[in-house]
Amino acid sequence: MTQTVTVLGATGSIGTSTLDVIARHPDRYRLHAVTARSSRQALFELCRHHRPEVAVLDHAEDARWLAEALTRADVPTRVAHGEAALCEVAASAEIVMSAIVGAAALTPTLAAVRAGRRVLLANKEALVMSGALFMREVAESGAVLLPIDSEHNAIFQCLPHHHRGGLERCGVTRLLLTASGGPFRQWAPEQLAQVTPDQACAHPNWSMGRKISVDSATMMNKGLELIEACWLFDASPEQVEIVVHPQSVIHSMAAYVDGSVIAQLGNPDMRTPIGHGLAWPERIDTGVAPLDLFATGRLDFEAPDMARFPCLRLAREAMSTGGTAPAALNAANEVAVAAFLAERIPFMAIPTLVERVLARLEHGPADSLECILAMDRRAREVATAELERREQNG
Ligand code: NAD
Ligand code: MG
């Protein structure tokens, strides 16, 4: 029996890797829908090649363009646009890959969760923003939530099948979250002041979208992943240890009370966790090359440098404040990263801006989607005002 799949964010790095794995298994998977924000030409090529039933873009004008192009090319894909259409395709396939970048993934991913789907969670921002609410919705709907972020997918593979209900119950004492350290792991603070967007996006091990590449360079990515791990595995922040491992061959580990440490290894290629999520509890070929340990040679480990990477501290603080603080952290970071990519602020202004925004906001409980989205908007306003103030002061 084939299963239907919707890929949210199909034109991105995770989206195209997902389509690559799906195309290897036409006997197992049938593409229901693909979505993108505005890259209509790329979405057109995907539709021509993969022939989904539906394609969704953000704006009506792009959707009209795509519909005409598809008609001319004799491709029968139906075209829709806007958030309601996004939520509809998210709720109507058996498997949903959540690979939109940023807070924009929250509403459609929750739509998939509420429909009780198998949700492959690559996007981390949605869970960071809405942790408790998101996990409650998963429990209530019976959705099957499978982590795709490579570290969390690794931890999932290192835990016993039935790990819900707390780590202690299955004898796990710590989760060891590995980090490559990004492209600037060994750079001096003076050098960090000069970093350009292209340098920040040139990750040594992984090829990824620009936003997550900058997050890896500031290590905010690891901060967001710490919060993600706490929610996914019902862990306290103290139970999650960050271990810098520059080769990115061990994708993360679980430490047990008897002294065992279980690790998941592989080449740094997102098709491994994607294939794992698609087929779980079975295993399928993903096209990933076998790991050559002799070529790898060695595995190194270091403690993270908290002084050089203040984003790690900011994320830990937001998680211990709780409530709407992680949503504010995420929103401020999205604004700061966009400003850095647009060359409006230097690299080291990213953590400074995030810290200023967090200090200016009051945090309360995050018990409804409305209050989470309200904090997201408010933090973006404050961050934008901070940026303008910075520019006015020269
Ligand atoms: P990307 O920038 O390559 O692709 C993003 C996709 O989302 C595109 O299809 C884009 O059209 C769509 N999109 C962007 N903004 C949108 C909006 N406002 N509304 C609707 N669609 C929108 O990003 P990526 O690197 O593939 O990352 C996607 C997500 O997966 C991120 O949350 C990232 O943190 C996470 N992730 C990525 C990797 C990786 O290796 N790339 C690894 C782990 C986790
Ligand atoms: Mg990751």
147, 177, 202 — which closes off a domain?
A: 147
In terms of domains, do 190 and 142 share one? no
CB 186 within 8 A of CB 254: no
Confidence of residue 18 (pLDDT cuts 50, 70, 90): very high
In terms of domains, do 83 and 167 share one? no
Contacts of 14 (CB under 8 A, 6+ apart): 97, 99, 122, 148, 209, 270, 274
CB 286 within 8 A of CB 21: yes
168 by Cβ neighbours in 10 Å (0-12 / 13-18 / 19+) ranks as exposed
SS3 for 186-218 is: CCCHHHHCCCCHHHHCCCCCCCCCHHHHHHHHH
Ligand at shortest distance from the CA of 101:
1
User: Can you say which residues are annotated as belonging to the binding site for 1-deoxy-D-xylulose 5-phosphate?
Assistant: 124, 150-151, 180, 203, 216, 221-222, 225
Spacing, Cα 267 to ligand 1 middle (Å)? 21
Copy the structure tokens of residue 147: 């982590």
Element of type H or E holding 383: helix 369-392
Tell me how far apart the alpha carbons of residues 19 and 205 are, in angstroms, rounded to a whole number: 21
User: Can you say which residues are annotated as belonging to the binding site?
Assistant: 11-14, 123-125, 149-151, 180, 203, 209, 216, 221-222, 225
- The predicted-structure confidence for 220-244, as pLDDT tens digits, reads as follows 999 999 999 999 999 999 999 999 9
In terms of domains, do 132 and 173 share one? no
Backbone torsion region of residue 259, taken as left when φ is above 0, otherwise alpha when ψ lies between -120 and 50, otherwise beta: left
Chain centroid to CA 275: how far? 16
In terms of domains, do 179 and 123 share one? no
- In a domain, residue 305? The reply is no
- In a domain, residue 303? The reply is no
Question: Is 146 in a helix, a strand, or coil?
Answer: strand
In terms of domains, do 335 and 381 share one? yes
**Residues 333-355: what's their mean pLDDT?**
98
In terms of domains, do 219 and 261 share one? yes
Amino acid at the residue 353: L
- The predicted-structure confidence for 294-314, as pLDDT tens digits, reads as follows 999 999 999 999 999 999 999
The atom number, within ligand 1, closest to the CA of 9 reads: 9
The atom number, within ligand 1, closest to the CA of 149 reads: 43
Spacing, Cα 156 to ligand 2 middle (Å)? 13
pLDDT at residue number 163: 66
In terms of domains, do 176 and 142 share one? no
For ligand 1, is residue 354 a contact (CB within 6 Å)?
A: no
CA atoms within 13 A on the CB side of 199: 15
In terms of domains, do 107 and 193 share one? no
| Domain count across the chain | 3
Residue 294 DSSP one-character state: H
Q: Give me the chain's average pLDDT, please.
A: 97
- In a domain, residue 226? The reply is yes
- In a domain, residue 155? The reply is no
- Would you say the C-alpha torsion 169, 171, 176, 177 has a positive or negative sign? negative
Confidence of residue 54 (pLDDT cuts 50, 70, 90): very high
End-to-end CA distance of the chain: 62
Spacing, Cα 235 to ligand 1 middle (Å)? 26
Question: Is 255 in a helix, a strand, or coil?
Answer: strand
Copy the structure tokens of residue 17: 């890797």
Tell me how far apart the alpha carbons of residues 332 and 202 are, in angstroms, rounded to a whole number: 23
- Residue 164 above 90 pLDDT? no
For ligand 1, is residue 209 a contact (CB within 6 Å)?
A: yes
- The predicted-structure confidence for 248-268, as pLDDT tens digits, reads as follows 999 999 999 999 999 999 999
Contacts of 318 (CB under 8 A, 6+ apart): 227, 325, 326, 328, 329, 358
In terms of domains, do 140 and 178 share one? no
For ligand 1, is residue 55 a contact (CB within 6 Å)?
A: no
CATH code (residue 326): 1.10.1740.10
Tell me how far apart the alpha carbons of residues 125 and 131 are, in angstroms, rounded to a whole number: 10
**Max intra-chain CA distance, the chain:** 64
Range of the domain at 106: 3-147
- The predicted-structure confidence for 114-143, as pLDDT tens digits, reads as follows 999 999 999 999 999 999 999 999 999 999
Copy the structure tokens of residue 16: 């195209």
- In a domain, residue 37? The reply is yes
Strands ordered across the beta sheet of 54-57:
78-81, 54-57, 29-35, 3-8, 95-98, 118-121, 144-147
In terms of domains, do 141 and 193 share one? no
User: Whats the size of the chain, residue-wise?
Assistant: 394
In terms of domains, do 195 and 229 share one? yes
**DSSP E strands, 205-274:** 240-244, 250-256, 261-265
Angle at 10 between CA 7 and CA 12, to 5 degrees: 135
- In a domain, residue 196? The reply is yes
- In a domain, residue 314? The reply is no
In terms of domains, do 166 and 112 share one? no
- In a domain, residue 368? The reply is yes
CATH code (residue 91): 3.40.50.720
In this prediction, does ipTM exceed 0.90?
yes
For ligand 1, is residue 382 a contact (CB within 6 Å)?
A: no
